[in-house]
């Protein structure tokens, strides 16, 4: 069984992260604790900050040698993304945290293909999550209370998130590699009848991917079957 990667900063959130690990395991899945602390941490994590930092393009000192927290966080996010891409055993990724943790973990999550389960418990989830989610399939769960201690709220929210991640890791969705060339279409409410008819006419010989015309879904989006090069068709409302 591929494990759930539980990711966060153990220097400030070790108890909450270990609770998430315990809940994942109680749900029947396996878990790895990944510590992305940018300040010295004595936590006994499965993956230490040093192990993550060595994946940075300029080496571990580019991550852990910064006195400037902002630069350290930016560098750790890059290193974490490279670390996750180097792994071939990810069942799901579960992140916990506030603004800094959310920024680091979701940047790394966005590097993973669509279809790899990604769940972020965050204090930022009740606001504009576009900078964190982008065109990917990251799931944001509002922490309600800050991820700062275990209490009636955080135990429930983190527990629910851990159970969800465990369920996704244990029940992978079978991937079907299509033989048809991919076709991307954007759709807005008033163009729905048109796009529906186009799909009816073309989907016997094309794999059709419909994106909402907000622009986010189709922006450099990679379909789960993404071995094909998609041709983007924009259908605009027609004047009467």
Both 75 and 151 in one domain: the answer is: yes
Per mean pLDDT, which range of 38-52, 103-117, 204-218 is the poorest? 204-218
pLDDT at residue 226 in the model: 41
Count of other CB atoms within 10 angstroms of residue 189: 8
**Domain C-terminal end among 170, 191, 213:** 170
pLDDT at residue 150 in the model: 95
Q: Is residue 11 one of the residues assigned to a domain?
A: yes
What span, in angstroms and rounded, lies between the C-alpha atoms of 157 and 115?
Answer: 23
Three-state SS for 182? strand
Q: Domain residues for 60?
A: 4-170
Q: Which tens digit of pLDDT belongs to each residue from 207-234?
A: 888 888 776 655 544 444 443 334 444 4
Both 152 and 53 in one domain: the answer is: yes
Residue 103 has pLDDT above 50, yes or no: yes
pTM: 0.83
More confident residue, 216 or 204: 204
Total domain count, the chain: 2
Helices (H), 90-232: 99-109, 130-133, 152-170, 192-202
pLDDT at residue 219 in the model: 52
Q: Is residue 91 one of the residues assigned to a domain?
A: yes
Q: Is residue 176 one of the residues assigned to a domain?
A: no
What span, in angstroms and rounded, lies between the C-alpha atoms of 187 and 206?
Answer: 17
What span, in angstroms and rounded, lies between the C-alpha atoms of 130 and 151?
Answer: 29
Both 219 and 151 in one domain: the answer is: no
Residue 89 has pLDDT above 60, yes or no: yes
More confident residue, 225 or 167: 167
CB 52 within 8 A of CB 83: yes
């Amino acid at each position: 069984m591929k494990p759930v990667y539980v990711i966060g900063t153990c220097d400030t959130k070790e108890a909450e992260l270990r609770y998430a690990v315990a809940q994942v395991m109680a749900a029947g899945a396996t878990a790895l604790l990944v510590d992305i602390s940018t300040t010295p941490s004595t936590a006994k994590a499965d993956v230490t900050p040093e192990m993550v930092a060595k994946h940075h393009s300029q080496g571990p000192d580019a991550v852990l040698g910064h006195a400037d927290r902002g630069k350290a966080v930016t560098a750790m996010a890059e290193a974490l993304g490279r670390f996750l891409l180097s792994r071939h055993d990810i069942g799901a990724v579960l992140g916990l945290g506030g603004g800094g943790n959310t920024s680091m973990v979701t940047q790394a999550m966005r590097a993973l293909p669509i279809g790899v389960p990604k769940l972020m418990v965050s204090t930022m989830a009740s606001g504009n999550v576009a900078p964190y989610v982008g065109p990917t399939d990251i799931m944001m769960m509002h922490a309600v209370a800050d991820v700062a201690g275990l209490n009636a709220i955080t135990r429930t929210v983190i527990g629910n998130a851990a159970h969800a991640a465990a369920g996704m890791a244990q029940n992978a969705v079978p991937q079907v590699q299509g033989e048809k060339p991919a076709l991307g279409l954007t759709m807005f409410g008033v163009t729905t009848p048109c796009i529906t008819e186009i799909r009816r006419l073309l989907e016997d010989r094309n794999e059709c991917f419909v994106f909402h015309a907000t622009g986010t879904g189709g922006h450099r989006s990679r379909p789960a079957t993404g071995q094909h090069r998609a041709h983007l068709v924009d259908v605009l409302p027609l004047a009467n």
